Structure 1
Amino acid sequence: MAREKPAELLTVRQVLDELGGISRRTFYRWRELRIAPRCIRLPNGELRVRRDVLNDWLDKRAEGAAS
């Protein structure tokens, strides 16, 4: 039985770059408002976003997307 490959974990910097270079401040504001993609907090306090979570988050915000 093949084991599933773990999801790619993106740093906040990588997420910011993928979102067109939004500011870190904007990202953390979105987190406060609970509209940012779900994050994982590592034991060292750093945040990561799973690639599949970011892709789903982006898909839900596409123009003309079904609710």
Structure 2
Amino acid sequence: MSAAKAQQRNLTGSRQLLKISEVCEELDVAESTFYDWRAKNRGPRCIKLPNGSVRIRRAELERWLETREEAA
């Protein structure tokens, strides 16, 4: 693992940026599903980098998941 990748994995809270593939793996959904959610403004807020790649803050993913919790 490269030093840059190791450093990114060690970041905590809102500073940690996740790739779409990492988010999809964690949620157990296909990337096409994630892109569909994104197109319909139903997914977590994303950050589009100058090179065109997309990242999701760990804190934003956690916030988004909390809004999906159903009352018991």
In the superposition, the TM-score normalised over structure 1's length comes to 0.82
Aligned residue in 2 for 1:27: 34
5 Å-filtered alignment, 1:1-67, equals: 7-20=15-28, 22-64=29-71
Number of equivalences:
60
RMSD over aligned Cα atoms: 1.6
* Percent of paired sites with the same residue: 45
Distance 1:25 1:6, change over 3 A: closer
Tell me how far apart the structure 2 counterparts of residues 58 and 6 of structure 1 sit (CA, whole Å). Answer: 14
Aligned-partner residue type, residue 22 of structure 2: Q
Say which structure is richer in helix.
2
**Alignment deviations for residues 3-38 of structure 1 (CA, whole Å, 9 cap, x no partner):** xx8610000001001112x11111111011100100
State TM-score, norm by structure 2.
0.77
Specify every segment of 5 or more residues in structure 1 that has no aligned partner in the other structure, as ranges.
none
